[in-house]
Chains A and B, each alone.
Chain A
C-alpha cells in the first residue's frame, strides 16, 4: 500500500513561503494514502490560480486545466472512469467567481468526486484583486476604496443547491483537514470542502492569526448532528460562515453514477468500443 510519500513528486511548488496551499497539498497526499489509494488510482483536476498548480505537485494523474473549469473536467473524468478517485481543486476565484455556475451544478449533479477549494479570499496569482470571498470594505488593487459587494457564502450556497457533503477547514489544521478529505473521498457523492488557506503575500487581513481568532470549530458542539439540514444551515448563519468541521452529510441520496440508467460499475473507459453488426442493424432499422 502506498504511503503519503509516494504521492510526493520532485516538482518544487512555486508558492510563496508560508502560503496556506502547502498544507492542503500535504493533507491531500496523506488522505490519499490513508484511504488506501495507489497514485495511479487518483486524478487531481485543478483550475487556474496559485492554488490550481496543486495537481502538478502531487504524484498522481492530474490535469491543470483552464480558469474556473476544474469541476466539469473532473466530472468528465469520473464519468469516463468511475473507478478512479477524482479530486477537483482550485481557488475561491476559480470556484466561486468564474466557475460558480459549475460549482452549483456539480453540487446538484452529485457525482462521486471531492472538491477542495483553497479559499484565500483574494486573487493570488493575478497579484491581489478582490474575490467573491473578500469581506465588504476589503481594499485590494481592484477595490482601492474597499469592496462594495457582499461576501459570498459558499456553504450556504452549497446547502441550498442540495449538497450531500459540506465541510470547511483551515490549512493549519492538518489533522482535521486530512480527516475531512478522507471522509469526502469516502462519501458516495459530491463533497465540498472549503479550506481557509491564507495568502501571506496579498491578503494582510485574513491572516493565520485572524483565522485562529475567528474560526468556530464544530468540535465545540459535541451534540451536533451533521445529518440535520436545518441545523446545519442555522449553524452556518450563526457563525457567519466561519464554522469548521463536517457541517452536513446526506448519506441517503445516491450518487449520479448510481442513478444513470444502464451505467455499469466498471469504468466506461475499459468497456468495448465497437458495436456488433446486430446492434448496428437494430439502430439502422428505425430509419427504414
Chain B
C-alpha cells in the first residue's frame, strides 16, 4: 500500500486533457484523497502540447512531486516530453492510434489502449477523456461506482443517454487495460483516504467565493490569464446576491469603476495580472489620496511585458509595493494556500474599509490555477467590518460640509456615502483639507500626508508571517511566499533526513512589511534562504531593507516559468546550509 502517487495526462490543447483531469480528480476527491494539481499550458487555445498533473495522497500535500507514476498520453509528443519524469517502472497509458513507443533509456511499462477507437465506436472521439480516465482508475484498483457517480453528475444535465454512453466508455477503457495488465497494479494500490469531505478547487475560485462571503457585490474587470476565472466565477454567482460583473474596456476603466463603486458604498473588486496592474497604477494613487477603499487581486504570471503569460512567476512584488507615483498607504497581502485565498479576501475587504486604503491581494499562477484539496471553509469565521462608516450624520448647517478627512488620532476619518443627507463633502485627488476642498496650504499638506501615511502603523493581518519554527537556532531559515510553501516543506523533510535543521516562514503581509514579527527569527537563524520565482530577489530585497541581516541572507531564484520542485529546493538549500 502506498500513501501517494502522481498522475499526468498530456495531449494537444483542446483535445480533452482538461476534462479527463477534471473527471478523474473529482472522483478521487469523492473518496477523500488529498489532491494537488498543476496545469501546464501554453497560451494557444487549440494545438500545442499541454499537460495536467495531479498528486494524489492519503495525507495533506501542498506541492507537486518531483516524479511521476502514471502518464496518460494522447500523442507521442506527450510521451517524448514527459516520460523522463516517470520513476523507474512507471506506467504509460497511451492511445493505440499513434503506435506509441517508449523513448530510449526510459524504464517504463506501456499499455496501448485504443482510446480514440473506443470513443469513436461509442459515437464521438470526444469521449476519449472517459476511456482514458476509466483506464487510469482501473489500474489504481479503485471502486468503479464512485467514478460512475462523478460521470453522472458531470453529464446528468445532458440526459440519461449521454450519461450511459460515458459510463460505457469508462467501462471499456477499464476492462481493456485490466486485461492487458492482468488486473489492478499492486504497486499503485493507494491506502484508504480519510474519507472526510474536502473542497477541491483552484485559488481563483476560492477568491471568488471569499469575495461573495465578504460582501463584495460588484466586480469590474478586463480578461487576462491567470485572473479571468475570478470574473467568470463571480458573474455566475453575483446576480443571485443582487450584484454583477462588468467586463470593462480596459483595466483603467476596471479599477476606476471599482473606485467609483466603493466610494458609493459597495464592496467592489477588480482582478488582473501584470499588464493590467501596470495600467492601474495612476488610479491606485487616486484611491490612496481620496482614502477610498479598493480591493485589487493581482494574479502574477511571467513578466515583463507579455512575458510568459501562462507561466509561473512572482515578479510583480515591487510593482505592487511601490507602484503609483507619490506616496500613499497601501496594503499587499499574499495568500499562501487555497484557504488563505478565501479568508484573505474577507480580510482584504475589511482592511480596505477599516483603513480606507487600496489593498492588493497577490497570488501567483500556480496558486490561482492549480487545483487543490483544502479544508472546508468556516462560515462562522466570516466577519464583516466596515470601519468608521457613518450612517446617521446630523443635518449640515448652511454651507457647512461633512469632515470626511477629519484629522483624528489614528488618522482614519469618518466615512459617509453619497445619498446621506448630512454627509455632503468634496472628494478630489488634489491635496485637500478636512472637508475635501482643494488646498495648497503647506501646513495642511504636511498634516494630510502624515495622516494618510500613518494610518497603517498598527496594521497586522491574520498570520502576517506564518511560522513553522521547530528549531530555536536552525541551520536554515527558509522564507517564501505564495504557492511555494508546500514545496519548501517537502524539501525540509529531505533536509531533516540529512540532519539539516530548518525553520520555515511564509510572508503573508508583504506591505507594510512585518519587520518586528520577522526579526527574532532572522536573528536566531544561522543562515537564511529566501525562495522566490523571480530574477531579482524582490522579497529578499524587502527583508534586507526593512529587517537587515543582509550578510546571512541568500536567495534561491527560479524564473524559467516553472514552479520550484522539492528536489531543487532541497539541493540548493543543502548547498547553502
Binding site for B on A (CB under 8 A): 9-11, 38-41, 43, 45, 48, 55-56, 59-66, 69, 71-81, 83-84, 101-102, 104-105, 109, 260-264, 267-271, 273-275, 277, 279-281, 283-284, 287-288
* Given A80-B266, A102-B253, also A262-B399 (CB < 8 A): no
Chain A residue at smallest Cβ distance from B349: A273
Measured in the bound complex, the distance between the Cα atoms of B250 and A59 in whole Å is: 32
Chain B residues in 8 Å Cβ range of A105: 248-249, 253
The list of the 7 closest CB pairs from A to B, nearest first, reads A76-B260, A273-B215, A269-B265, A262-B239, A80-B264, A73-B260, A76-B261
Chain A residues in 8 Å Cβ range of B254: 72
Chain A residues in 8 Å Cβ range of B200: 287-288
What size tier do the contact residues of chain B reach? 35 or more
B100 to chain A, nearest CB (A): 35
Interchain CB contact under 8 A, B244 and A262: yes
Chain B residues in 8 Å Cβ range of A38: 421
* Given A63-B428, A77-B418, A262-B240, also A268-B260 (CB < 8 A): no
Measured in the bound complex, the distance between the Cα atoms of B257 and A61 in whole Å is: 17
| Residue in A48, A66, A280 whose beta carbon sits within 8 Å of that of B379 in the complex | A280
Interchain CB contact under 8 A, A39 and B266: no
A185 to chain B, nearest CB (A): 16
Interchain CB contact under 8 A, A77 and B256: no
B424 at the interface (CB under 8 A from A): yes
Chain A residues in 8 Å Cβ range of B421: 38, 40
Chain A residues in 8 Å Cβ range of B557: none
Query: Which residues in chain B, 251-309, are within 8 Å of chain A measured between CB atoms?
Result: 252-254, 256-268, 282-283, 285-286, 290
Chain B residue at smallest Cβ distance from A256: B246
| Residue in B246, B377, B420, B428 whose beta carbon sits within 8 Å of that of A79 in the complex | B246
| Residue in B257, B379, B417, B437 whose beta carbon sits within 8 Å of that of A269 in the complex | B417
Interchain CB contact under 8 A, A268 and B266: yes
Query: What are 29 A-to-B residue pairs whose CB atoms are below 8 Å?
Result: A39-B424, A40-B418, A66-B282, A66-B286, A66-B429, A72-B253, A72-B256, A73-B257, A73-B259, A74-B260, A75-B246, A75-B260, A76-B268, A78-B260, A80-B260, A81-B264, A262-B239, A268-B266, A271-B217, A274-B215, A275-B215, A275-B241, A277-B379, A279-B240, A281-B379, A284-B199, A284-B377, A288-B197, A288-B200
Interchain CB contact under 8 A, A274 and B244: no
B83 at the interface (CB under 8 A from A): no
| Residue in B285, B377, B418 whose beta carbon sits within 8 Å of that of A81 in the complex | B418
Chain B residue at smallest Cβ distance from A73: B260
| Contact flags B383-417 to A (C-beta < 8 A → 1, else 0) | 01010000000000001010000000000000001
Measured in the bound complex, the distance between the Cα atoms of B244 and A61 in whole Å is: 24
B326 to chain A, nearest CB (A): 12
Interchain CB contact under 8 A, A81 and B430: no
A70 to chain B, nearest CB (A): 9
Chain B residues in 8 Å Cβ range of A279: 240-241
Interchain CB contact under 8 A, A40 and B424: yes
Interchain CB contact under 8 A, A273 and B260: no
Chain A residues in 8 Å Cβ range of B427: 62-64
| Residue in A48, A261, A269 whose beta carbon sits within 8 Å of that of B264 in the complex | A269
Interchain CB contact under 8 A, B239 and A81: no
| Residue in A104, A269, A275 whose beta carbon sits within 8 Å of that of B419 in the complex | A269
Chain A residue at smallest Cβ distance from B245: A260
